[in-house]
Amino acid sequence: MSTEPGTTPAPAPSPGQPHSHAPNHGSRIHGCLLGGALGDSLGYAVEFDDISAIRARFGPAGLQDFSALDAGSPFSDDTQMTLYTADGLLEALEWANDGVASDINACLWLAYLRWLGTQSVAVPASAPFQPPRWIDAQAVLKNRRSPGNACLSGLATGEMGTVKRPVNPDAKGCGAVMRSAPFGLIPHLEPETVYKLSADAASLTHGHPAARQSAGVFSLVIHALSSGQSLRAAAESALGHLRGGILRKGENPDPDVVARLQAALRLAGDLPGGGHVLSPEDLVSELGEGWVAEEALAVALYAVLATAPETGTETATADAGTAEAGAQAHFRAAIAVAVNHSGDSDSTASIAGNILGAYYGEPCLPADWLAALEAPEVIRGMASRLAAVTGS
C-alpha cells in the first residue's frame, strides 16, 4: 500500500482482508472490462495455434507483448459478449432506478440476440423485438471474431434457454464463462444473487451444469475481488460457495468443475515469492486447454495466482508508483501464462485480465498495451455507463 512521505508502511493485509487505498468501484469496473479486452486481444492472435507454433513464431518464451504483433490484434467475441452482458445488466438497472421491475434474464437474452444480429446470423422471427441501444451503434462490435458455436446455435433457436429447459443441453464450452465478469461488478448483491444471475444467463446458451457452475464461480470471484478480498481468498471463497449450498435444490457440484478449480489452487499454492510456473505443456496436462468452461476458468485462475507477488507485497510498498509498477508486472506475467499454451488462449487470457482488472483497478493496465487496444473508447463507454448506473 502507498504511504505519505516519511511514514512507515502499514502491515500487509492478510488474505481476504480489504486493502488500504483500494481502487474505487469505478476503477474496478474499468479495469475489469479493459483488462479482459487486453487479455482477449493478445490471446486472439494465437487462439488456434499450439505451443510449438507459438514458439516458432515468437521465440522460446512465446507471445509476451503487443509489440511482437506488427499488425496488432483485435479483440474477439469474448469482449463483444462481455460488453453485451454489461448492457443487458445496464438496461435492467436502468429500469430498476426508474422504479420499474424487469426480468433481468430477459434483458440479457435480448442483449445477446442483438449481438447475434451483428454476427451475420438472422435473429429468429419469433424472438421479441427490442429497440437498439447505444452499444448497437458501435461498428467495431459488428465484426465476426470466431464466435462460439453454442452461443450462436443457442440464440438462433429463438427460444430463451433456462436451467430446466436448456437449448443446448450438453454444451459446456467456455463461451458461458468468458462473458460473465459483469455479474460480479454489480455492488450490494449477496453472493447467492450474483451466482444465480450468472448461472441463469449461462443457461441461455449452454445447458451443461459445468458451464453454468463455472460461469457462476467466475462471477463470484469478480464479486469478491470488487468487495476487497485478496486474489487467493476470492478464489477459495467462490469454490467454497459452490461446494457449500449455493446451488439450486437437488443440484450437486459438477465433479469436473470442482476438480479443475482445486487443481488450479493446489498448483499455484506454493508459488508466490519464488516458485516455478508450470510449463505450457504441464499447464495443459494438469488443467486442460480451456475450450470447455471449467478448464478456461482453472487456467485463468492458475495464471493469476501463480504469478502473484508474495502475499501482501503488491500493497505493502513504499509509494503508489511502486505499487502500480508491481501491479502492471503482475498483469503482464499472468496474461503471458494465460496466452502461451495449446488451447483457447483468448478466453483464458480474457478471464485472467478480468480478474486482475477487478482486483487492482485500472492502474494495473500497461499504458503501451492500452495504446495497442482496439476501440478502447467503446469499452470505456460501457464501463462508464455501468459505473454511473451503479453509483460508482
Do residues 220 and 191 make contact, with C-beta atoms less than 8 angstroms apart?
yes
- In angstroms, what CA-CA distances link 320 with 1, 21, 182, 327? 7, 9, 27, 10
Dihedral pair phi/psi, residue 385, rounded to 5° = -65, -40
343 near 39, Cβ under 8 Å? no
Q: What is the pLDDT along the chain (392 residues), one digit of tens a residue?
A: 333 333 333 333 333 334 446 899 999 999 999 999 999 999 999 999 999 999 999 999 999 999 999 888 999 999 999 999 999 999 999 999 999 989 999 999 999 999 999 999 989 899 898 889 999 999 999 999 999 999 999 999 999 999 999 999 999 999 999 999 999 999 999 999 999 999 999 999 999 999 999 999 999 999 999 999 999 999 999 999 999 989 988 899 999 999 999 999 999 986 655 568 999 999 999 999 999 999 999 999 999 999 998 754 444 444 778 999 999 999 999 999 999 999 999 999 999 999 999 999 999 999 999 999 999 999 999 999 999 999 87
Q: What is the spatial distance between Cα 285 and Cα 349, in angstroms, rounded to a whole number?
A: 18
Tell which phi-psi region holds residue 18, choosing left (phi > 0), alpha (psi between -120 and 50) or beta: beta
Cell of 363: 492502474
Predicted TM-score (pTM) of the model is 0.93
Sketch out the chain's domains with CATH numbers. Answer: 38-389 (1.10.4080.10)
